[in-house]
Amino acid sequence: MSDGELLRLSAAEAAAAMRAGQLDPVELYRAYRQRAGADLAAGEHGLNCFTWVADDDGAAERLGSGLPLAGVPLAVKDLFCTEGVPSQAGSKILEGYRPPYTATAVARLEQAGAPLLGKCNQDEFAMGSSNETCAFGPVRNPWDRERVPGGSSGGSAAAVAAGLAPWALGTDTGGSIRQPASLCGVVGVKPTYGAVSRYGMIAFASSLDQAGPLSRNVTDAALLLRHMIGFDERDATCLHFPNHIEIPQEGDLTKTKIGVASQLSAEGGALERGVEDGVAQAFADALSLAGQLGASVRTVALPHAPHALAAYYVLAPAECSSNLARFDGVRYGLRACAVGDRDGGGQAPRPGDASGEGDPSEALFGIEAEGELIGMYARTRHDGFGAEVKRRIMLGTYALSAGYYDAYYGRAQKVRTLIADDFRKAFEQVDFILTPTSATVAFPLGAFSSDPWAMYLNDFFTVPMSLAGIPAISIPCGRSGRGLGPDGEGLPVGLQIVGPPYSESRLLQVAYVLEQALRFDGEVALA
Amino acid sequence: MIERDEVLHVARLARLALTEAEVEAMRGELASVLSHIAKMDELDLEGVPPSTHVVQASGALRADVRRPSLSRSAALSQAPAVSEDGEGFLVPSPQA
């Protein structure tokens, strides 16, 4: 088989061919490794999808036989800990960190036969919607290099779209799998909260973080998800998932009740800046196609969904400010010396030590008269965290500080209850809810760099489901107009399908039926 | 804008040193984000219970049994500084 033919096999097709002995796992692994490695070597001239790529075929050579994932290489978002392999979560504060253990989700997939291909670039600690907050440079969208791939799992999404990996692991806190899937024209699944173990995922917001697949098609997503889910006693919020993930089959949508919520509709709903025409058109076409396939479509109400972003930007930063307290220069990663102490407290500098960086004469505030130890913490955190992460730590610390807790965190937890109740009531009337995944196609690099809230609005359609803990999938449902053009014409549009807790198999089935009818062509990005 | 003293107070709580330029930027950016968060105030939240778990939590308790964990050397392997005897993380003295 030529490399071109190898790379065009879906993950499920490749796994079937390898199980049947028609394809050599090492040959497939090497083809992807060379492709991913070339992108890594190209640096900023490439797509910058990877922060690390395996430098030999050992992972594929060591595979046992008869494994269900049969040697299909796996790209993994950088924030999953992988033993002995750099795991930096897109942050300078973890530069060079090689964890002594592997995340459960990755370990399960390796045991099922998926060898680790590489680690994918991401927004720093998964805080971003464009992959521009990464300490190792932005990821570029394979459909248009001057545009973002979305975030925070942008490296994973772009790698799959560009054929640098057959499939990838991402994580979704407020849309970080679904939104980049939408912007890159691939499939992305955020499972029910608790379906996949968070053990070994470098935490952002623990009540929201959830791992999931990014893939070229729905069948591949189902196959990967099947081998990720399951109880893990090392994550206290991990669930006994009540059923097996089914591989979707041919079918139609008769007896399927689909809901559309005016608050999250393509007419803009409650999003004041509206939905792009090309997105609205593709969404309307997908809805009418669902009707042709036999689905009944009706309106449902999600009255509190417009308040989701406000609640999310209290809860997620609050949890982040607590989770990121662990980065203090003691146990791993970067250590800067204390202010006024340029020799690192008498210790010899080590690789990755930043004591030589920055302007030593620059005044730093917030740590006056705190002593050498706290000074070291505060300086390390100053040097190691990027602007967006600092902003969220400050916001979360503010919201949790004495006198503000009830006004912010307490209120946000109540809004979260209302949003979850809205979905519960809606799912008494319909099986699934459809929304656009993102109000826009991929936007130009730098488009939202001056206004944090404008960037946050990119997750308007994905945050409500995260707060409710329910599963959702994004599939490509068309392109914005015909042919690629300078103003975003021809870029992929994502359709979000949302279901109640544990509905993953049914969700994947509906997504598959729509995918077969939509016949989205993602070849452009493979070039 | 948020008061400069308030930014410095929060930075101290967060153990985060900031430059003068960062303090100034934070004053405006935090105020801007907080103004959008104020959208929550439109809702009547009287009597609404706060969310603790969105999906039923199960199995959060397990038997307290001793089991293997990371070795000391593995746990220390990524530390920026380790004590001379190799027994622990090395940090500046809290009294210094």
CB contact under 8 A, A310 and B36: yes
- Rounded to 5°, the CA angle A303-A318-A91 comes to 115
What span, in angstroms and rounded, lies between the C-alpha atoms of A80 and A88? 9
β-pairing, A50-53 vs B18-19, is unpaired
d(CA A100, CA A122): 21
CA distance A261 to A465: 13
What is A3-250+513-526's CATH topology?
Answer: Amidase signature (AS) enzymes (3.90.1300)
B89 part of a folded domain = no
Q: Looking at the 3D structure of chain B, how many domains does it have?
A: 1
Does some domain include residue B69?
Answer: no
Query: Is residue B31 one of the residues assigned to a domain?
Result: yes
Whether B47 contacts chain A with CB within 8 A: no
Catalytic residues of A: 77, 152, 176
Count Cβ–Cβ pairs < 8 Å, chain A vs chain B. Answer: 219
Q: Determine the Cα angle at A122 with ends A524 and A247, to 5°.
A: 60
Q: Which residue of A has its CA nearest to B92?
A: A373
A345:B92 CB<8 A: yes
CATH of the domain at B20: 1.10.20
Where along chain A do the CATH 3.90.1300.10 domains lie? 3-250+513-526
Residues 15-34 of B with CB under 8 A from A: 15-20, 22-23, 25-26, 29-30, 32-34
Is residue B25 in some structural domain? yes
B contact test, residue of A339, A343, A395, A451 with most B CBs within 10 A: A395
* Any domain includes B28: yes
What is the residue range of B34's domain? 4-41
Strand A364-365 to B18-19 pairing: antiparallel
Nearest chain A CA: its distance from B24 CA (Å): 11
Please list, in sequence order, all residues whose beta carbon lies within 8 angstroms of the beta carbon of residue A111, skipping any fewer than 6 positions away. Answer: A67
Going residue by residue through chain A (527 aa), what tens digit of pLDDT does each one get? 888 889 999 999 999 999 999 999 999 999 999 999 999 999 999 999 999 999 999 999 998 888 999 999 999 999 999 999 999 999 999 999 999 999 999 999 999 999 999 999 999 999 999 999 999 999 999 999 999 999 999 999 999 999 999 999 999 999 999 999 999 999 999 999 999 999 999 999 999 999 999 999 999 999 999 999 999 989 989 999 999 999 999 999 999 999 999 999 877 667 888 899 999 999 999 999 999 999 999 999 999 999 999 999 999 999 999 999 999 999 999 999 754 444 444 343 333 344 444 555 567 776 666 788 998 999 999 999 999 999 999 999 999 999 999 999 999 999 999 999 999 999 999 999 999 999 999 999 999 988 999 999 999 999 999 999 999 999 999 999 766 777 788 999 999 999 999 999 999 999 999 999 999 998 888 87
At residue A225's C-alpha, the angle toward residues A224 and A229, to 5°, is 130
Confirm whether B24 is domain-assigned. yes
Closest in B26, B54, B70 to A193, CB measured = B54
Q: Residue B12 falls within a domain, yes or no?
A: yes
Taking an 8 Å cut-off on Cβ atoms, the answer to whether A378 and B17 are in contact is yes
Instruction: Mutate one of A319, A392, A398 to test the B interface: name it (highest B CB count within 10 A).
Output: A398
Q: Quote the minimal CA–CA distance from B85 to chain A in Å.
A: 14
pTM of the model: 0.95
Look at residue B9 and tell me if it is in a domain: yes
